[in-house]
Amino acid sequence: MNKWETIRADYPVTNKSVYLFTNGGGPVSTPFVQHAHTLLTELSEKGRMVMPGWNQQVDEVRQQVAQMLNAQPTEIAFITNTAHAMTLLYDMFPKSYEIITMRDEFPTGIVGWMHSGYTLHLVESDANQHISLEAIAAQITPATKILITSHVMFRTGFRQQLKEIGELCKQHGIIHIVDATQSFGVNDIDVQECNIDILIFHGYKWVTSGYGSGAMYVSRQLLDKYPPTVMSWYNVDYEKPDFDLVKDYTIFTPKKNALAFEAGTLPFINILLLGHTLAYLQRIGITDIAAYIQELIDYLRQQAKAHGIRLLSDYAPANRSAIQLLEITEEQNLKVVQNNIKARYKNNRLTVALNFYNNKEDIDRLFAAIA
């Protein structure tokens, strides 16, 4: 059994169906379930006494996320999902700051910002669903202060070149915000190299860490200029470091780093399970995962051509992602469903999401069903 088949064996969903729906939500592994059982057992046996050990482990997960992004641990905050993270940002910036985002962006990068009073300018994709750097640059005006983009567009699978966009933002003094939910775990991201000010991901898709866990990177330089506005008991410092010895809770100082976004008691089990899964991915190697998925993408493209199926995500290699789109009929999709293949189908478009637990046989079964 090779490396990838060993990994595949850790994901029982692959025994139940051809699972090509990671873009909507990834399964969890057998080791994940075992670790969840261990944590819950510990909580059942120790109660509140788990906290010293769990606090230390949360710090280790924070370091883990920081290492993966080339950031500092104090620049990492834990979140429950991307929408949660975005809501923490709305009041940090003046409402006069105009925002550029993408027409194909997921609504978390649009709705709340508009509702909060910001002016948004949307960059259109071309007829081939490609977003050019020139189209982004054309929207920049002196009033443009923020750019929001997903690394990978959820609807089209188009992968943005974050380094090029980061350079553009740097040239114009624009705050660069990235939603990496559809890429983190299968693509390396260096926030320094890409000049990213804020990066958000949640772990229930490609990371396969279940629902309710994610993280947000916020650069120290940005926090120095735009401190968070959300305050509660957990994200401030009191007159004494030992909370139980504090006699006057009206005397406090807001935290100065990304931990200021963590306003209350953390979802410890979710965070520790996220850390368990990130360690699993790091043992595989994110670079190896990216290369393996690229092999699957190449094979999918070959099979689409061989079977006369139109590939809608026909991008240059630099813009390809683990999300691939095929044009098929409703009758063909019925065959997909009948053959127990799990994938999203809307408007004659089948979204095929390839992760490290998929293999070429999954792709063969897909095309056998729709051919």
Bridge partners (DSSP) of residue 216 are: 77, 200
The pLDDT, as a whole number, for residue 74 is 97
Same domain for 298 and 272: no
Same domain for 139 and 14: no
Q: What is the reported pTM? A: 0.95
Distance CA 170, CA 139 (A): 15
The pLDDT, as a whole number, for residue 371 is 85
- Residue at a domain's end among 283, 302, 337: 283
Same domain for 277 and 333: no
Distance CA 256, CA 358 (A): 43
User: Taking Cα atoms as reference points, which of 204, 239, 197, 182 lies closest to residue 80?
Assistant: 204
The pLDDT, as a whole number, for residue 247 is 84
- Mark the ranges of the chain whose per-residue pLDDT is less than 70: 1
Same domain for 348 and 268: no
The pLDDT, as a whole number, for residue 241 is 79
Distance CA 222, CA 227 (A): 8
Q: Does residue 35 form part of some domain?
A: no
What does the angle CA 273 – CA 276 – CA 281 come to, to the nearest 5 degrees? 125
Bridge partners (DSSP) of residue 352 are: 324
CATH assignment of the domain containing 343: 3.90.1150.10
User: Taking Cα atoms as reference points, which of 221, 224, 202, 201 lies closest to residue 213?
Assistant: 202
- Residue at a domain's end among 229, 257, 283: 283
* The one-letter amino acid at 365: R
Cβ-contact 61, 276 below 8 angstroms: no
Q: Does residue 211 form part of some domain?
A: yes
Domains held by the chain: number: 2
Same domain for 304 and 333: yes
- Residue at a domain's end among 283, 304, 325: 283
Task: List the domain range (segments joined by +) for residue 337.
Answer: 3-27+285-370
Residue 261, classed as helix, strand or coil, is: helix
Residue 173 tokens read as: 């003094």
The pLDDT, as a whole number, for residue 1 is 67
The position carrying tokens 């100082």 is 253
Residues 6+ apart with CB under 8 A from 306: 367
The pLDDT, as a whole number, for residue 76 is 98
